[in-house]
Structure 1
Amino acid sequence: MNLKQVSNGEVDDKLAALITNTNAIRAVASAVEGTIGPKGLDIMLVDRFGEVTITNDGVTILKQMDVNHPAAKMLINIAKAQQEEIGDGTTTATIMAGSLVSEGANQVVRGVPVARIIEGIKIGIKKACEVIKQKSRQVEGINDPVLKDIALIAGREHEDIAHLVVEAARLIGEEKMKEGNFKLSDTIIAQEGAENEVFMGVIINKGRVNKQMPKDLTNVKVLVIDDALEPEEIGEEALGTETGFAKYLELREEFKKNIQKLIPLGVKLILADRGISDEAEEILTDAGIIVVERVSSKDLQRTAEHTGARIIKRTSLKKDLDEIEKFLGSAERVYEDEKLEQIRILSGKGKPMATILVGAATEEVVGERERIAKDAASAVQAAVRGGVVPGGGAVEIAVSREVEKERESVKGMAAYGIDCVVTALKRPLAQIVANAGFNPLEKVENVIAHQAEEKSDSIGINCDTGELADMQELGIYDPTLVKLYAIKAAGEIAEAILRIDTIIKKKDDDGKGGNNKGSGFNEAINEDF
């Protein structure tokens, strides 16, 4: 009995919520499963204005998919969380979650209590994570050749991008790569017409406020202001009084003196969070100082870290010169690339900070090139932090064999929950093989048999030939953290969906029921299931 038959009324109505949610989860998973593996295809996303995004990136597909079903949204949120935490593996997590939920629902239809299935899933997920950790090997420093393999796989075999990412990781160093609040993917910028490049420094995608300001400076003192470079404001009502107007003039004069203080300090670059007044612009232009306004908070922070500057508010400019000087950073060179309309800050005296500039031939491919580079960077960083395991779905098969052994020690119906985990662990390889044009049932069973026979956890399928192959010999690895998070995420969403017994529609704030009507993807779910 399948879920479509169930939804047609062959089973008690108490299963309605489970069947509805399972179908939604399965529909989301099926939307991305065709992208996984070296032979995975692209998805075209079209918005209501006809704008098109063509991508192979799982989280991009999930984020832009038109989805209203609450269960589908839960799955997408789990994938987003994986992207935020690890930066890679969202497609694997989604496929495994879809399999877990679907298998769990099938077991419920057969009469297995939900509580027992969830119990077994928890046991299976815990065992799977333990086995993954046991099979992981640490990366031997930032120069380990396996990092290039990781970058190539996550970067969809783009050699140039893999090279950029690995070079950037080496420039930054292992210590920085392991910092919890640092993301290598944040250092990536893709730009039409640019050449591929990695350098020690920061790019600000803004130009000089005034083209009369210097274009290129060396040995630069840097001031970073998380504020406007303008006089403090006076309320309109106060300006209408004699006292208020006098206060306004006093503040403007004080501001002017504060700006002029920066000249004897030798400041040559100022980055401001907001705008700059005409008066300040004139003074600083005459003094040969580069000013960049409306810089994002992320870029302000990166510049401050790289140059050793301390971010200040404009009120801090009232301090004495000696105090202001303590807030300044420095860089060997600052210049504007007028063609690309960006400011480059090179070789700062603070923390090492590399920038990966990914070139793109046309505007249409800029976004996808950037997504590919970010995936590769995230995977490399995850490998440095947590080690690697054989890729290509091989390690999941090895883990499934160990989880299946755990079934023997579990009493009662919880064993059916473990079966769900075993099936889910086989799904990545099955889908990779299917996308390559081979029979997944045949190939998965071949891999299981040969892994047991050869006592090897790295045997998988060569997607070019369809033959058995050692993934490690082919240089196919995955970061351990990506696998761990994907397995945990799949277990969490499966447990959450299986626990839902009833769906009740909430009333709106005005006391009326909401509109049931969905659109696009949501209507497709209702129509298909």
Structure 2
Amino acid sequence: MTESSFAKNLKEDRFETLLNNASAARVIARAVEGTIGPKGLDIMMVDSFGDVVVTNDGVTILKLMDVTHPVAHMIINTARAQQAEVGDGTTTATIIAGALIAEGAEQILKGVPVTKVITGINMGIERACELLNSLSYPVNTLHDQLLNNIAVIAGRGYRDLAGLIIEGAQKLGTEMIKDKDYKFSDAVVAKEFAESKVFSGVIINRQPVNRDMPSSITDAKILVVDDALKPDEVEGQALRTDAGFQHYLKSRGLFEANLNKCIELGINVIVVDSSIDDLAEQILSQAGIIVLQRVSGREIEKLCLHTGARKIKRNVLNSSMELINTYLGEAAQVITDEKLEHTYFLNGKGKEWVTLLIGASTEEVVDERERMAKDAAAAVQASIKGGIVPGGGAAEVWISRHLETMARDIEGMESQGILAAKEALLKPFCCMAANAGFNPLEKLAEVNAAQKNSNSAHYSFNSENGKITDMLTEGIVDPTLVKAYAFKAAGEVATAVLRINSVIKMRETNSNINGNILE
């Protein structure tokens, strides 16, 4: 490719790219700035069919936004990563990322080398995480009142949801909550018209195959089939031959024998990943066995964990009864709720599993309450795992003041990147103050003064009356892990965006260049 043709593919020069990327980041951040804090408002999302989602959940807003700019997608992916890792703090991460990109771009436009800005931002974020950890307090018991406060804050003020979350956490116990492979937010299930409650067990979003099957069973013996429950198939053409028809009859007979084997084993609940055929439905229904078909893989995983069952393929049913018995799970009770169209598996013999059933009056409200409950559950789990820090933006104000001191003590242009990090970390505080109806600069000055005078990071403003108060005394705290991950995630995406020198349009796949087909 010649130099002139290469130049034609350059989309923008260096500073145009920087400004374009910074603008995209600001648009994404502004979309969620009005939702942060106890006084944050909701966003209405409307699709092309007129379907509506009303929420102030950051990651939900970002996932549903119609965006095309690659930098916007990078920030949205950062919010998704925050959600997947710690389950909360997506709005904070997005706002800080947008501010970091804007502040970094401003320094670069002033003539500070990109590498110096990026190095400074990394230094600032690293120091911010160290300071954050120094402010952290451990949560030593599931009965700590601060845990309930965290659930209320993350659940956007809904104390009924917070109560359910804390009750569920106490049922599970500290060991389970701290398990690195367990996500407490997965315990949340929302249903329209359901009565909100916490119970030891799992919900399968299916009913028995037909009404002749029992609606409840005590002392359930459970078989989980990760396959279709039907005889081996015989091709249509093969059925026309004598050998093929004999094979068909043999497979049907073997299948029927396997079903009778299940009955002899005392199996009274069968959960199937795929479908069951008419013969299986008839035999199992007559035997008084509950069969749930087309159950999702995620629900099956929960069921196996809680009941101790192990998934099998249908050919395992050809094995001995002793072997099949080793795959079975148990539950004290299985109950079908016909109104809500789901089935409860209660008090399984496997791993302890608590389900938080969240009810609401309409489909739209159910979805939002589920999001709030999941955020609250994730925040509680993060607090138990990593401790808590003063909330209300107090920690960020304290940290930003230390970053300013750090920048003054450093010789070199990296100090400008540290100052960019300092300004970005203040952005969520300023948004919360503005959303509460106060002047952000005025509140920032008051909080800084209170923290300096008391030599404490505990002070911030009360969003109800604007008074400066001790956040720990007021019970306003945030999970340390959520903030730390938000700082790191925002820093990573911001430095990645600031490193972009130019944007070049890629050629289409299988395009013809100089007469040669490239594949």
Q: TM-score range by the shorter chain?
A: over 0.9
Show the counterpart of 1:150: 150
Question: Does residue 67 of structure 2 align to residue 67 of structure 1?
Answer: yes
Show the counterpart of 1:250: 250
Aligned partners of 1:404, 1:249: CA distance in 2, in Å? 82
Aligned partners of 2:264, 2:510: CA distance in 1, in Å? 63
Q: Which runs of 5+ in 1 are unaligned?
A: 1-11, 514-529
Q: Secondary structure at the match of 2:66?
A: coil
Show the counterpart of 2:405: 405
Q: Secondary structure at the match of 2:168?
A: helix
Show the counterpart of 1:164: 164
Which of 358-367 and 427-436 deviates more?
A: 358-367
Show the counterpart of 2:427: 427
Provide closer, same or farther for how the CA distance between residues 512 and 175 of structure 1 changes in structure 2, counting only shifts above 3 A: farther
Which of 227-236 and 298-307 deviates more?
A: 227-236
Provide closer, same or farther for how the CA distance between residues 258 and 40 of structure 1 changes in structure 2, counting only shifts above 3 A: same
Show the counterpart of 1:392: 392
The C-alpha deviation readout for 1:99-127, integer Å capped at 9, x for no partner, is 10000000011111100000101110110
Question: Does residue 461 of structure 2 align to residue 487 of structure 1?
Answer: no
Show the counterpart of 1:518: none
Which of 380-389 and 406-415 deviates more?
A: 406-415
Show the counterpart of 1:286: 286
The C-alpha deviation readout for 1:66-108, integer Å capped at 9, x for no partner, is 0000011000000001001111000000000111000000001
Which of 234-243 and 253-262 deviates more?
A: 234-243
- Count of paired positions: 502
Question: Does residue 112 of structure 2 align to residue 112 of structure 1?
Answer: yes
Show the counterpart of 1:524: none
Q: Secondary structure at the match of 1:201?
A: strand
Aligned partners of 1:318, 1:390: CA distance in 2, in Å? 61
Aligned partners of 1:79, 1:62: CA distance in 2, in Å? 8
The C-alpha deviation readout for 1:188-245, integer Å capped at 9, x for no partner, is 1111111111000111111110110111111111111111111122334433433223
1:254 to partner: Cα distance = 0.9
Counterpart amino acid of 2:148?
A: K
Q: Secondary structure at the match of 1:262?
A: helix
Show the counterpart of 1:80: 80
1:317 to partner: Cα distance = 0.9
Question: Does residue 332 of structure 2 align to residue 332 of structure 1?
Answer: yes
Aligned partners of 1:315, 1:75: CA distance in 2, in Å? 47
Aligned partners of 1:232, 1:379: CA distance in 2, in Å? 49
Show the counterpart of 1:179: 179
Show the counterpart of 1:48: 48
Aligned partners of 2:234, 2:57: CA distance in 1, in Å? 50
1:315 to partner: Cα distance = 1.2
Which of 22-31 and 441-450 deviates more?
A: 441-450
> How large is the RMSD of aligned CA atoms in angstroms?
1.4
1:510 to partner: Cα distance = 5.0
Aligned partners of 1:238, 1:306: CA distance in 2, in Å? 43
Show the counterpart of 1:9: none
Question: Does residue 331 of structure 2 align to residue 315 of structure 1?
Answer: no
User: Does the 8 Å contact 2:46/2:53 carry over to 1?
Assistant: yes
Show the counterpart of 2:221: 221
Counterpart amino acid of 1:93?
A: A
Aligned partners of 1:226, 1:179: CA distance in 2, in Å? 27
Aligned partners of 1:421, 1:16: CA distance in 2, in Å? 23
Aligned partners of 1:245, 1:186: CA distance in 2, in Å? 48
Q: Secondary structure at the match of 1:412?
A: coil
Provide closer, same or farther for how the CA distance between residues 484 and 300 of structure 1 changes in structure 2, counting only shifts above 3 A: same
Counterpart amino acid of 1:18?
A: L
Aligned partners of 1:163, 1:76: CA distance in 2, in Å? 31
1:372-391 paired onto structure 2 within 5 Å? 372-391=372-391
Counterpart amino acid of 2:290?
A: I
The C-alpha deviation readout for 1:313-362, integer Å capped at 9, x for no partner, is 11111111111111111111111111111100101111111111111012
Show the counterpart of 2:505: 505
Q: Which runs of 5+ in 2 are unaligned?
A: 1-11, 514-519
User: Does the 8 Å contact 2:54/2:364 carry over to 1?
Assistant: no
Show the counterpart of 2:361: 361
Show the counterpart of 2:371: 371
Aligned partners of 1:87, 1:419: CA distance in 2, in Å? 29
Question: Does residue 354 of structure 2 align to residue 344 of structure 1?
Answer: no
Question: Does residue 470 of structure 2 align to residue 460 of structure 1?
Answer: no
1:259 to partner: Cα distance = 1.0
Counterpart amino acid of 1:134?
A: S
Aligned partners of 2:441, 2:486: CA distance in 1, in Å? 23
Aligned partners of 1:200, 1:389: CA distance in 2, in Å? 31
Aligned partners of 1:216, 1:38: CA distance in 2, in Å? 44
Counterpart amino acid of 1:163?
A: G
1:382 to partner: Cα distance = 0.9
Aligned partners of 1:273, 1:512: CA distance in 2, in Å? 47
Counterpart amino acid of 2:276?
A: I
Q: Secondary structure at the match of 2:494?
A: helix
Provide closer, same or farther for how the CA distance between residues 240 and 506 of structure 1 changes in structure 2, counting only shifts above 3 A: farther
Provide closer, same or farther for how the CA distance between residues 314 and 182 of structure 1 changes in structure 2, counting only shifts above 3 A: same
Aligned partners of 1:233, 1:476: CA distance in 2, in Å? 62
Question: Does residue 63 of structure 2 align to residue 57 of structure 1?
Answer: no
Q: Secondary structure at the match of 1:497?
A: helix
Show the counterpart of 1:98: 98
Aligned partners of 2:402, 2:318: CA distance in 1, in Å? 67
Aligned partners of 1:512, 1:142: CA distance in 2, in Å? 65
Counterpart amino acid of 1:272?
A: V
Show the counterpart of 2:517: none
User: Does the 8 Å contact 2:45/2:54 carry over to 1?
Assistant: yes
User: Does the 8 Å contact 2:100/2:494 carry over to 1?
Assistant: yes
1:408 to partner: Cα distance = 3.4
The C-alpha deviation readout for 1:273-323, integer Å capped at 9, x for no partner, is 000111011111111110000111111111111111111111111111111
1:512 to partner: Cα distance = 8.9
